[in-house]
Structure 1
Amino acid sequence: MDYDGGWAQYALAREDTPVPLPDHLPFDQAAIIPDAVSTPYAAIVEAGDVRPAEAVGIWGAGGIGAHGIRVARLAGAAPIIAVDPLPGARERALAFGADLALDPAAPDFTQVVHRSTGGQGLRAAFDFAGVGAARTQATAALGPAGVLVLAGLTPEPLTIGDSVNFCFQAHRIRGHFGCGDDHVDQLIRLVSAGRLDLAPSITAHVPLAEAADAVARLEKKTGDPIRLVLTP
């Protein structure tokens, strides 16, 4: 990440950047660990500090949020509430381990979150969509001492509607980007040990020569892809 040459048959790498892979770990699954899995992993386990039995909400069930759901389940979060306006994304969220998958525009959204968390609200909410409206909704769903983690990037301003309640409830907002140096190694061990199955995340393998078409498929959500792996 952040180095030139990623979309090439060969690329130079500094000696401290390659990571050894076990022989039994498929290379295509290992290829998506940096960023696609490591970013939500760091957001869940570090920025959000999610503990077992804590209620979490995940806004956006795309290529990053879908893995956030899997990591939250691995961390023992309960319930895991996924929020996405796309029906296909909500179906994927349930397949990836969410307990509930809600449409943010549903008229009973607030009531369902309240009921499913035993009236306590969310201990942690994660914006993987990078949408201002999602952040507003996520903040309102937080319970006492809840934290909103901003993992989706957007230039939109962040606004706290009810600042009195925000302070009274001791809410927190944390920005998040990328992952730490050790997170990729941790994920390699977890995937190798069978704790995470990344095979369902590989939507297709695309020849390197068709990289532009692959980007267009992602941008237009053609076939609702999670991750496309370029093969040299």
Structure 2
Amino acid sequence: MTETMLAGRLDRKTRRFQVEEVPVPTPEPDEVRIAVAAAGVCLSDLHLIDGTLNPRGTASAVTLGHEVAGRVEALGEAVPPGVHIGQRVTLQAGQSCGRCDDCIRRQTCPRSLTRGVHYDGGWAEYALARVDTLVPIPEHLPFDQAAIIPDAVSTPYAAITATAQVRPAQSAAVWGAGGLGAHAIQVLKLVGAAPIIAIDPLPAARRRALAFGADVALDPGAEDLVTQVRDATAGRGVDYAFDFAGVAAARDQAVAALAPAGALVLVGLTPEPLSISDSTTFCARKNRLLGHYGSAPQHVEELVAMTATRRLGFSDSISGHIKLADAEDAVHRLAHKSGDPVRLVLVP
């Protein structure tokens, strides 16, 4: 194989992103090397490039990409026999630190590391993966769909099933029907939420939300938006309002549209402060505020299992395939929402 490869690299000091030639990585004993077949382009990647996200304790330069799928191409010397060359896998979007007291006790790591943030990710021809981050995928699941399951699908799935614990017939509204919100609508339909209300300023996104399973799609710019939400829920309001937009105005609307004991679930990330304008009413109605971030390994595994039995499919989520060499174009297209993409995918 060649000694160098293409990789989409971000210089954290200059904020310069470019595709460049770098050495092909060699796996450590507990790692494998993946021949990358597909890698998703996420808003988090854009936020890393523009500096909105600037996590501490990271290298001065990193290969981006936390949504990755491909084939095992080389094995570290301590990789167990269940992993083999040619195996089709998707990769967990991160890994435990492996050093803290919780890791030693085999508990949830509070210092988990994110692929493409704390260590090199999958915007490359080859990527390294610790063996415990491999998730085998069925032959019929295309690599592009498998790649976006970690994060694009698993984050809303975890928010709905674990953080909110939505039950059948409970009502839900989704602010922001983009890369995460569109999949949230799919998952809400899967768990039996009713009605499902999508709220997005883009007409194309509202049409897509209806195609993905929303019962109602509304424009947040409407002066009577909260009234429309209450009308759609027989005057009660929503049991769960999911903010995938990370916008203060969306959160204000969501709080106003909550049913008694309803919860606002924060999934969209923003550095802006959070405020509740009328905390007396919020408390009197026993409303709740739930923060959410990412997903756990089992959520990715559960989603892959559901795709294996064709309970879920994400072919409509792939908005375009872009060559790795043209990754800068993918960043530009997502930044400007060209074509209103759900997920753009980089391919070799």
Aligned to 1:31: 147
Question: In proportion to residue count, which structure has more strand?
Answer: 2
Q: Which moved more, 1:22-31 or 1:73-82?
A: 22-31
Residue aligning to 2:169: 53
1:220 to 336, 345, 348: 336
Give the Cα–Cα distance (whole angstroms) in 2 for the partners of residues 50 and 38 of structure 1: 15
Which structure 2 residue ranges, 5 or more long, are not aligned?
A: 1-92, 94-113
Partner of 1:154: 270
Taking the TM superposition and a 5 Å limit, the aligned residue runs for 1:106-117 are 106-117=222-233
Q: Percent of counterpart pairs with the same letter?
A: 62
Query: How far did residue 98 of structure 1 move?
Result: 0.5
Q: Provide the C-alpha distance between the structure 1 equivalents of 2:191 and 2:318, rounded to a whole number of angstroms.
A: 22
**TM-score (norm. length: structure 1):** 0.98
4+ residue runs of structure 1 moved beyond 2 angstroms? none
**Cα distance between partner residues in 1 of 2:283 and 2:121:** 46
Is 1:125 matched up with 2:241?
A: yes
* One of 294, 318, 325 as aligned partner of 1:178: 294
2:251 corresponds to: 135
2:197 corresponds in structure 1 to 81
For residues 5 and 58 of structure 1, the distance between their equivalents in structure 2, rounded to whole angstroms, comes to: 29
Whose helix proportion is higher, 1 or 2? Answer: 1
CA distance in 2 between partners of 1:13 and 1:197 (Å): 25
SS in 2 for 1:12: strand
Confirm or deny that 1:92 pairs with 2:196.
Answer: no
Q: 1:197 aligns with which of 280, 290, 313?
A: 313
1:64 paired with 2:180, answer yes
Distance 1:88 1:141 in 2: 23
For residue 316 of structure 2, give the secondary structure of its aligned residue in structure 1: helix
Deviation at 1:94, TM superposition (A): 0.7
Match among 268, 276, 283 for residue 167 of structure 1: 283
Q: 1:206 aligns with which of 322, 325, 343?
A: 322
Distance between the aligned counterparts of 2:164 and 2:236, measured in 1?
A: 17
Instruction: Output the aligned Cα RMSD.
Output: 0.9
Instruction: Between 169-178 and 103-112, report the one with greater CA deviation.
Output: 103-112
Shift, 1:96, TM fit: 0.7
**Partner Cα distance (2:264, 2:310) in 1:** 30
Offset of residue 156 of structure 1: 1.2
Q: Distance in 1 between matches of 2:320 and 2:202?
A: 21
For residues 28 and 196 of structure 1, what CA distance do their matches in structure 2 show?
14
Give, in angstroms, the shift of residue 107 of structure 1: 2.4
Radius of gyration: which is bigger? Answer: 2
Q: Distance in 2 between matches of 1:170 and 1:209?
A: 52
Q: Which residue of 2 aligns with 1:7?
A: 123
Higher relative contact order (CA 8 A, sep 6+): 1
1:104 is aligned, of 217, 220, 224, to: 220
Q: Which amino acid aligns with 1:110?
A: V
In the aligned structure 2, how far is the partner of 1:229 from the partner of 1:25?
15
Unaligned ranges ≥5, structure 1: none
How far residue 180 of structure 1 moved from its aligned partner, in angstroms, is 1.0
8 Å contact kept, 2:175–2:199: yes
The residue type equivalent to 2:206 in the other structure is R
Count of aligned pairs between the two proteins: 232
Alignment check: 8 A CA contact 2:226 2:253 kept: no
